[in-house]
Amino acid sequence: MSARDSGALAESLDSAFAGMTPLDRLRLLAERVKGRLVFTTSFGLEDQMLTHLVFANALPIEVVTLDTGRLFPETYALWRRTEETYGRRIRAKYPRGESLEALIEDQGIDGFYFGADMRKACCFARKVEPLSRALSGASGWVTGLRADQSANRHTMAFVAFDAAHGLIKANPLLDWSREAIRRFAEAEGLPVNPLHDRGFLSIGCAPCTRAVKPGEDERAGRWWWEAEGKKECGLHTVEGASASALNLAEGAGS
């Protein structure tokens, strides 16, 4: 499918998603988007809801996670528990060994604390580049993004054509609140990360995530030592995706 046709399909799906339930959105996406659909989970509250909808309804959507190597022990335990609950395997993508070795040789084991550029380099090696491999050959990408998580995400559409990855990107929970998802998880008895009850509302790598304080934004606990900004690692920004695509292209030609 050409970029123009994919863009038109994305616009059509974006309009159709309004007023639909998340399950119906996923079903419509699976029906209309031909080829591989990939859902990337980080085992947060939103992702557990989507994982449940995919597995419980046997939807033809692959569930993949990016194992950075520096996740919380609680996250790994939830990963195992989720697979046991649904009897399904969650595929993993890991950083390239050579890239990780070069990164740590250059900046040390915790170099990300000493500058935004160093932190972004770590995010790129551990998350952004592995994401590109996870999405390679896919036609659609499903995420657990919510509009009220940040100013950057507030401007996102339900469905859009992701030119950097060359696929359709869908956000079935974009108009859901955290509280609504929490109630769904409780009603359905979903396995969830115990860190949520300890103030970790947005959970990423262990060294880069802290519990939020009363009155703080949901993502204030991510990269807390940096000045306030987009609070993104590059997975959901044009800059990060474009850099990863370029990196893969250069690697393929070497």
Q: Domain extents for the chain?
A: 3-244
pLDDT for res 254: 31
pLDDT for res 229: 61
208 a known binding residue?
yes
| The CATH homologous superfamily of the domain defined by 3-244 | HUPs (3.40.50.620)
- Rounded to 10 degrees, the C-alpha dihedral 2/167/93/29 comes to -120
213 is catalytic: no
Spatial distance between the Cα atoms of 122 and 100, rounded to a whole number of angstroms: 8
pLDDT for res 251: 45
C-alpha 18 chain-centroid distance = 22
205 a known binding residue?
yes
pLDDT for res 2: 82
pLDDT for res 253: 39
pTM given for the model: 0.89
122 a known binding residue?
yes
**Order of strands across the sheet with 167-170?**
91-93, 62-66, 37-41, 140-142, 167-170, 159-162
Of 63, 167, 168, 233, which one is the catalytic site residue?
A: 233
pLDDT for res 183: 98
Q: Which residues of the chain have pLDDT under 50?
A: 240-241, 244-246, 248-254
